Amino acid sequence: MYILLGVASVCLFILIRWVLRSLHLSNNDTRYVFITGCNTGFGNLLAKRLDRKGVNVIAGCLTADGTAALRNAYSRTLKTVELDVSKETSIRQAKIQCRLWALVNNAGIIGSVAPIEWHTQAEYRSVMEVNLLGVIFVTNAFLPLVRRERGRVINMTSILGRFAQIFGPYCVAKYGVSGGVLGPFFEYRRELYKTGVTVHIIEPGAFKTAIMCKDRTRNDIETRFRNCDEELHEYYGETFNTESDSTKIGFICGSGFSPKVHKEVDSYEHAILSRFPKHRHVVGLDANISYRILWNLPEWLADYIVTRPMSTPSGAKKLISSLIDYILYVFPRFY
């Protein structure tokens, strides 16, 4: 009897939540939404989607060509501005004077794909300035406009902000936005709790967009390796790049990425136009299944699974030359 009552209560809760989250706001033509990173990818698609739905869109594009292409392709209500989120002057110049219903921090760069010790300080800073500091500075600049409307702030993060893999600087920046309890997502959400402004994050898995290119990734790995010092050259060896080319690049830019980019845009739309949106949108089959399993496994087991397809440096192969060495190397991780 109690089991049936419990099951019925859970089913009723799920049904009520589904109904509430399916309700949408009205009067789209009176709402203004500012989106960063609209040259290509998710930001570009979102700007077009909202424009078709009658929302007043202000699209921030990095280049003049991007602003012109977007402005000429869609309705007169879609406004475009040049915006580099890593520069304070550009943010100030892009600030508009209207009541904003939603601010979408979509702009981001992938950085380079290489072992962490191959990256320079400048490479880390360039990714952090866009993916983390850009989110903070743009939010601070536009927050008074959102507060007047008691609107929403939506931040693009990544599932790699929860489970780091392959992209060193990118993972650090995305964790900074969403992963840590002291990160901006939690800080803004709690500071704005009593103001009527809500803060949401989108955590996508792997989707095929212009941000990833197989040739660019291959050249990036080769360039980073050439710029390493002699000690790293000797430790990793030339075969590391060859193995990376056949395993890492093939996964990153190949079948590992989903072509269903509309799912990401659907999540953005829900966060902006739903009456009762989620605080977190985990998007994609890999993010909801594969990564969810991995981050709940014991760390030693998750590490073992994730590192199986990764290349092994020549120096590490020399250290693990026998089965006994391998057992002694792996065993300390089982706790």
String of DSSP letters for 111-163: ---B-GGG--HHHHHHHHIIIIIHHHHHHHHHHHHHHHHT-EEEEE--GGGTS
Here the CATH number for the domain that contains residue 163 is 3.40.50.720
Place of tokens 């699209």: 59
Using the predicted structure, report yes or no on whether residue 64 has a pLDDT greater than 80.
Answer: yes
Percentage of residues in the chain having pLDDT higher than 70: 85
Could you tell me which of 239, 245, 247, 255 has the C-alpha nearest to residue 215?
245
Average of pLDDT values for 316-332?
57
Average of pLDDT values for 197-222?
77
Average of pLDDT values for 255-284?
85
| pLDDT reported for residue 215 | 66
| pLDDT reported for residue 179 | 57
- CA 335 remoteness from chain centre: 31
Whether 57 contacts 47, CB under 8 Å: yes
220 in a structural domain: no
The residue from 32, 170, 188, 291 that is catalytic is: 170
105 in helix, strand or coil? strand
314 in a structural domain: no
| pLDDT reported for residue 254 | 46
Average of pLDDT values for 212-226?
73
Average of pLDDT values for 233-255?
61
Helix (H) or strand (E) holding 34: strand 32-35
242 in a structural domain: no
Q: Which of 79-83, 192-196, 264-268, 312-316 has the lowest mean pLDDT?
A: 312-316
| pLDDT reported for residue 246 | 46
Indicate if 32 belongs to the active site. Answer: no
| pLDDT reported for residue 31 | 93
| pLDDT reported for residue 15 | 87
Q: Which of 63-67, 88-92, 232-236, 307-311 has the lowest mean pLDDT?
A: 307-311
Report the domain count for the chain. 1
DSSP H stretches of helix in the chain: 2-21, 41-52, 64-73, 88-94, 121-128, 134-149, 168-174, 184-191, 214-226, 230-236, 238-246, 248-253, 262-273, 285, 291-294, 299-307, 314-319, 323-330
Alpha-carbon gap, residue 268 to 41, rounded angstroms: 13
194 in a structural domain: yes
Average of pLDDT values for 210-221?
68
- pTM: predicted TM-score of the whole model, two decimal places: 0.85
Q: At what angle do helices 214-226 and 238-246 cross, to 10 degrees?
A: 170
Using the predicted structure, report yes or no on whether residue 250 has a pLDDT greater than 50.
Answer: no
| pLDDT reported for residue 77 | 83
Q: Mean pLDDT for the chain? A: 81
198 in a structural domain: yes
4 in a structural domain: no
Edge-to-edge strands of the sheet including 102-105? 79-82, 56-61, 32-35, 102-105, 152-156, 198-204, 280-283
Using the predicted structure, report yes or no on whether residue 8 has a pLDDT greater than 70.
Answer: yes
Whether 162 contacts 204, CB under 8 Å: no
Q: What domain range is 272 assigned to?
A: 25-210+261-284
| pLDDT reported for residue 58 | 93
Average of pLDDT values for 126-146?
92
Whether 201 contacts 183, CB under 8 Å: no
Alpha-carbon gap, residue 34 to 43, rounded angstroms: 10
| pLDDT reported for residue 212 | 63
301 in a structural domain: no
134 in a structural domain: yes
Our CA angle for 302, 307, 313, nearest 5°, is 150
